[in-house]
């Protein structure tokens, strides 16, 4: 009988997409998918570290699994722990979650095979891994490392394969999709510094972008055009965009290319400029609103969604009210509102100690969630 595997995934779409590739690797090694975690030879727990609650859920899940097998007098499956919690280091994880057998980075669990996709029409396609930004609250640059774009060639080969298999909807994934394929500042700055040409302070971009402004068509726009050129591909989505590197050419492409979904996800994180500054987001609410205005002016059918963190350290009533007012102005269709969760190792955790008490964070979450998700309260995004 073939050995079985099951993957339990926490966290964002990038993690779900990684799990599809881990599944591919298992199947290439001759394993069969188990129907559930409660009857499998190997269990991969693909973790998320974005908030403490996500880590707590992973821990509780492992405990539940171990208890369930013990209650039935069955040998427990081999438990492999992977994903974004690995940034804690093996020793700390072993302390946090005993009963796991192996702690392996995603690429070592198995990542080299094509994805095993359950959905037959829609496919996730990762275009970059990691993140080059340093939003002060965020663990992702540490858990997933620096941003690396996959090559155009590799992505197009994957799309061709999907088209052959009958897929018609694609969601491109990355922490900053608009920055895909851009030339990194780090390298280019060094180049500039080494060249004989005059180098001035003004040559360093003053926003959050870690990249040079592209000449001509930005690579991400080119990628969208190449994928749209497949007649079989009918809908293209992408996650996540950020206000930086949201070039005018990208706005123009979204406006005119109707294969691109009219729903655009654009996290703002806060509607208060002072909070945005503490978050090191590198833009103001006016910069954000400008992108939104351009999109809506180009095509009034475009709808927007966002991510917001409430209760960032030191967030005053006034700052929170600025976010409320901004939300009313932006009129997002959906908002993933999250309560701030301090992440050890991040800049915010070290810099800011004026934590907002839980009841206030909760109250702010409720207020904002009601305002943004008023039209879809029954199926609104649930992250707290
Ligand atoms: N790259 C994307 C998404 C990153 S993670 C972006 O830049 O927007 C998904 C969401 O989790 C973020 O948008 C943010 O709203 C939330 N988040 C990240 N760190 C958090 C923290 N420490 N506490 C609460 N929410 C957090
Ligand atoms: Fe990167 Fe900031 Fe998004 Fe975190 S929130 S993944 S640091 S861009
Ligand atoms: Fe995603 Fe969670 Fe990692 S949101 S990138 S799985 S920390």
Q: How confident is the model at residue 198 (pLDDT cuts 50, 70, 90)?
A: confident
What's the gap in Å between 281 CA and the centre of ligand 2? Answer: 9
Non-local (6+) Cβ contacts of 48 within 8 A are 10, 11, 12, 15, 54, 55, 58, 83, 84, 85
Total domain count for the chain? 2
Across the chain, mean pLDDT equals 90
What's the gap in Å between 130 CA and the centre of ligand 3? Answer: 10
The stretch 365-380 carries a mean pLDDT of 84
Which ligand has an atom closest to residue 343 CA? 1
Express each pLDDT in 105-154 by its tens digit. Answer: 888 777 667 899 989 999 999 999 988 888 889 999 889 888 888 999 99
Q: Tell me, yes or no, whether 114 lies in a domain.
A: no
Instruction: Name the more confident of 345 and 230.
Output: 230
Count Cβ atoms within 10 A of the Cβ of residue 311 and give its class: 0-12 exposed, 13-18 middle, 19 or more buried: buried
Q: What are phi and psi of 272, to 5 degrees?
A: -120, 125
Q: Identify whether the C-beta of residue 37 lies closer than 8 Å to the C-beta of residue 65.
A: yes
Rounded CA separation 310/364 (Å): 6
Residues with CB under 6 A from ligand 1: 50-51, 137-138, 140, 175, 240, 242, 267, 269, 307, 309, 338, 340-341, 343
| Domain of residue 43, CATH code | 3.40.50.12160
One domain, residues 371 and 326: yes
What's the gap in Å between 341 CA and the centre of ligand 1? Answer: 10
Q: How confident is the model at residue 64 (pLDDT cuts 50, 70, 90)?
A: very high
Q: What local confidence, expressed as pLDDT, does residue 221 receive?
A: 97
Instruction: Say if residue 56's pLDDT is above 60.
Output: yes
The stretch 14-33 carries a mean pLDDT of 94
178 C-beta closer than 6 A to ligand 2: no
138 C-beta closer than 6 A to ligand 3: no
**Coil, helix or strand for 340?**
coil
* Domain end marker among 82, 108, 134: 108
Which ligand has an atom closest to residue 266 CA? 1
* Domain end marker among 86, 108, 130: 108
Instruction: Say if residue 384's pLDDT is above 60.
Output: no
Which ligand has an atom closest to residue 136 CA? 2
Express each pLDDT in 237-276 by its tens digit. Answer: 999 999 988 999 999 999 999 999 999 999 999 999 999 9
Which ligand has an atom closest to residue 240 CA? 1
Full-prediction pTM beyond 0.85? yes
What's the gap in Å between 50 CA and the centre of ligand 1? Answer: 7
Q: CA dihedral defined by 285, 214, 254, 171, rounded to 10 degrees?
A: -100
323 C-beta closer than 6 A to ligand 3: no
Atom of ligand 1 nearest to the CA of 308: 15
One domain, residues 174 and 260: yes
Rounded CA separation 354/146 (Å): 29
For the beta sheet containing 263-265, the strands, ordered from the edge strand earlier in sequence to the opposite edge, are 263-265, 303-310, 334-339
Strand 128-129 with 148-149, pairing: antiparallel
What's the gap in Å between 42 CA and the centre of ligand 2? Answer: 32
Residue 98 lies in domain: 4-108
Which residue's alpha carbon is at the smallest distance from atom 1 of ligand 1? Answer: 175
Look at the block and give the residue holding tokens 């069969």: 32
One domain, residues 53 and 167: no
Rounded CA separation 240/43 (Å): 29
49 C-beta closer than 6 A to ligand 3: yes
What's the gap in Å between 254 CA and the centre of ligand 1? Answer: 24
Count Cβ atoms within 10 A of the Cβ of residue 362 and give its class: 0-12 exposed, 13-18 middle, 19 or more buried: middle
Count Cβ atoms within 10 A of the Cβ of residue 165 and give its class: 0-12 exposed, 13-18 middle, 19 or more buried: exposed
% of the chain residues with pLDDT over 90: 74
Which ranges of the chain does DSSP label H, i.e. alpha helix? 13-28, 52-71, 90-96, 106-109, 140-143, 152-164, 185-194, 219-228, 248-256, 273-278, 285-298, 317-330, 347-351, 358-372
Express each pLDDT in 159-185 by its tens digit. Answer: 999 999 999 999 999 999 998 988 776
One domain, residues 136 and 70: no
Express each pLDDT in 301-343 by its tens digit. Answer: 999 999 999 999 999 999 999 999 999 999 999 999 999 999 9
Instruction: Name the more confident of 34 and 380.
Output: 34
One domain, residues 286 and 204: yes
% of the chain residues with pLDDT over 70: 91
Rounded CA separation 173/348 (Å): 26
- Give how far Cα 96 sits from Cα of 63, 76, 157, 171, 378, Å: 11, 19, 41, 34, 35
Which residue's alpha carbon is at the smallest distance from atom 2 of ligand 3? Answer: 48
Q: How confident is the model at residue 207 (pLDDT cuts 50, 70, 90)?
A: very low
Q: Identify whether the C-beta of residue 42 lies closer than 8 Å to the C-beta of residue 4.
A: yes
DSSP labels, 201-237:
GGGS--SS--BPPPSSS-HHHHHHHHHHTSTT--EEE
| Domain of residue 321, CATH code | 3.80.30.20
Q: Best mutation site among 130, 136, 174, 176 for ligand 2, i.e. most ligand atoms within 8 A of its Cβ?
A: 176
């Amino acid at each position: 009988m073939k050995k079985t595997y099951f993957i339990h995934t926490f966290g964002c779409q990038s993690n779900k997409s990684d799990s599809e590739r881990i599944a591919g690797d298992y199947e290439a090694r001759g394993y069969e998918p188990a129907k559930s975690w409660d009857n499998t030879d190997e269990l991969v727990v693909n973790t998320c570290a974005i908030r403490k609650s996500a880590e707590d859920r992973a821990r509780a899940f492992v405990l539940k699994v171990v208890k369930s097998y013990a209650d039935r007098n069955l040998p427990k499956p081999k438990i492999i722990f992977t994903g974004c919690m690995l940034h804690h280091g093996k020793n700390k994880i072993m302390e946090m979650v005993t009963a796991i057998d192996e702690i392996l980075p995603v690429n070592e669990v198995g990542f080299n095979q094509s994805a095993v996709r359950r959905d037959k029409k829609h496919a996730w396609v990762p275009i970059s891994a990691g993140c080059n930004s340093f939003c002060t609250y965020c663990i992702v640059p540490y858990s997933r490392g620096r941003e690396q774009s996959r090559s155009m060639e590799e992505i197009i080969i994957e799309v061709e394969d999907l088209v052959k298999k009958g897929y018609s909807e694609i969601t491109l994934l990355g922490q900053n999709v608009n920055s895909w394929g851009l030339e990194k500042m780090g390298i280019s700055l060094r180049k500039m510094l080494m060249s004989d040409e005059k180098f001035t302070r003004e040559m360093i971009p003053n926003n959050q972008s870690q990249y040079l402004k592209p000449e001509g068509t930005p690579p991400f726009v080119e990628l969208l055009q190449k994928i749209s050129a497949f007649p079989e591909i009918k809908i293209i989505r992408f996650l996540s965009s950020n206000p930086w590197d949201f070039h005018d050419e990208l706005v123009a492409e979204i406006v005119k290319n109707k294969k691109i979904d009219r729903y655009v996800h654009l996290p703002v994180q806060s509607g208060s400029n002072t909070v945005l500054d503490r978050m090191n987001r590198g833009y103001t609410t006016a910069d954000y609103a400008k992108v939104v205005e351009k999109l809506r002016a180009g095509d009034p059918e475009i709808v927007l969604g966002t991510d917001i963190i409430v209760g960032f350290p030191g967030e005053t009533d006034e700052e929170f009210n600025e976010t409320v007012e901004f939300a009313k102005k932006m009129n997002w269709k959906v908002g993933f509102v999250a309560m701030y969760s301090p992440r050890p190792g991040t800049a915010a955790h070290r810099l800011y100690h004026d934590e907002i008490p839980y009841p206030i964070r909760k109250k702010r979450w409720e207020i904002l969630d009601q305002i943004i998700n008023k039209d879809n309260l029954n199926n609104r995004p649930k992250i707290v």
